[in-house]
Amino acid sequence: MAFFDSQANSSQQNDDDQTDKNVQQIPVLQIIPNRFQPRKQFSEASISDLADTIAAHGLLQPIILREYQRDHYEIIAGERRFRAVQSLGWANVSAIVKQMTDQESAEMAVIENLQREDLNPIDEANAYQKLLDVTQVTQGQLAQRLGKSQSYIANQLRLLKLPETAQRAIANGEITARHGRTLLRLDSITQAIVLKQILTEHLTVSQTDHLIAELNGGSVKTAQNSKKSVKQVKSTTDLKQIATKIKRSLKKIATDQAKVTYQETHSANQYTITINVSVDQPNSKEEN
């Protein structure tokens, strides 16, 4: 398969790219991004910095294209450079045009992005899914070729089962991939409620895990009940802390003459402490 061939010959291809003399000046308006590009987000700041460098020193490395229609080109590698050149208003860009099939183009675009360290977990998961789609290999084969464990690939792919709002939160760095995988234990309605609480209360993964365990332990039937239960988890914890402080205070005020006892009952959103104070009256003699 082309994917395996490209992996085996990657170093040779890099050498060929560097020594290739067929650099052409291609009109920017005739170039489109790769349709299989897994990266959905590009940092405007990094593109701006790259544009400044290119403006000062020129484009030192040509972008790689393929001609998918006559005089129409698709980016194989170098979309960040292309975006930087676009921002500079250049009419033409230095490029090397390769002959590639749709599958080879998709594989190259995905693999190039996987080699970048700043790929967010959602884009990474999309990259794995695209490779699986275009190469028709198994998760195990893909993991082996990429030097990853199969469980790692599977865990990343699970993130794509999350709703768009949760995926966006992960991609933007508002929550972690571990938060996301924890949310998968809930139904879609409760996921939205818990996600909102994670974001507003800045819950850790551990706190989120505890919250979801509480929800799954009860009988959450509707969105209304789910929302109520979500709020109760933190409230119950607060109530227990308050009750503990009260009981400590009661022990401090107990004396030889004053006996303090209490009874406590609690539910999901209420903690009741009934206090009994009995005072021993000293024996007194009637005055004549």
Q: Which of 255, 254, 246 is nearest to 274 (CA)?
A: 246
78 Ramachandran zone, left/alpha/beta (phi>0; psi -120 to 50)? left
- Cβ-based neighbours of 183, under 8 Å, separated by 6 or more: 162, 166, 191, 194, 195, 208, 212
| Burial of 256 (C-beta count, 10 Å sphere; 0-12/13-18/19+) | exposed
Q: What are the structure tokens assigned to 202, written together?
A: 């800045």
Q: Which of 256, 261, 260 is nearest to 280 (CA)?
A: 256
- The radius of gyration of the chain from alpha carbons, rounded to an integer in Å, stands at 31
DSSP letter (8 states) at residue 186: S
Q: What are the structure tokens assigned to 252, written together?
A: 């401090």
DSSP letter (8 states) at residue 222: S
Please identify which of the residues 44, 74, 79, 104 carries the catalytic annotation. Answer: 79
Q: Which of 66, 73, 79, 133 is nearest to 105 (CA)?
A: 66
How many CB atoms lie under 10 A from the CB of residue 215?
22
Helices (H), 20-78: 44-57
How many CB atoms lie under 10 A from the CB of residue 169?
21
79 an active-site residue?
Answer: yes
Catalytic residue list:
79
